[in-house]
Amino acid sequence: MELTHSLATLDAQLELLARHWGQWSEAELLALPGPGRWCKKEILGHLIDSAANNHRRFVLAQVAPAPLKLLAYDQDAWVRAAHYRNLPAADLLALWTSYNRLIRHLLAHIPAHLLATECFSLHNNPVTLGWVVADYVLHLEHHVRQILHE
């Protein structure tokens, strides 16, 4: 996915969730779709955690010696530790939106030649910074769809 496409997709997802987030009651935002699954608030919290981890990756891929080894994190533990279920829904949306606007700004200013910077994926596969960016946006898009349709 080309950077301009990733930026456009990110913009669209931010607008899409902002348009729909207020339609759900607190009970709907807290409803668990199944055993071991996250509620809508927790999914959005997971996307905040993803933004935090990927923000670091996007910066390090530009400033640290290549290749950058992407570090995994325990997603369930992060969601549990943050207690996203207990935060006001509007605050969650505002934080997620603001963080992704910062990320969008950062991405829009990556020099084109740095998108080819070598990184190693979580499975130790060689990828580029451009791939990491596209993967982040696809992951975000997947979870926005999940929030909208569960």
Domain limits at 32? 3-149
Half-sphere exposure in the Cβ direction for 45 (13 Å, CA)? 22
Task: Spell out the residues 6+ positions from residue 140 whose beta carbon is closer than 8 angstroms to its own.
Answer: 10, 13, 47, 50, 100
- Nearest Cα neighbor of 132 from 97, 103, 91, 102 is 103
Q: HSE (CB half, 13 Å, CA atoms) of 33?
A: 13
pLDDT digits (tens, 9 = 90+) for 16-41: 999 999 999 999 999 999 999 999 99
- The span from the CA of 120 to the CA of 126, in Å, is 5
| CATH of residue 107 | 1.20.120.450
**Structural domains counted in the chain:** 1
Mean pLDDT in consecutive groups of 10 residues from the start of the chain, 150 residues: 93 98 98 96 98 97 93 96 98 98 98 96 94 98 96
Q: How far is CA 143 from the centre of its chain?
A: 9
DSSP, res 113? G
Distance of CA 10 to the CA centre of its chain: 10
Which amino acid is located at 135 in the chain?
Answer: D
Strands (E), the chain: 68-69, 118-120, 126-128
pLDDT per residue over 131-140, tens digit each?
999 999 999 9
The pLDDT assigned to 150 comes to: 82
Q: What is the pLDDT of residue 141?
A: 98
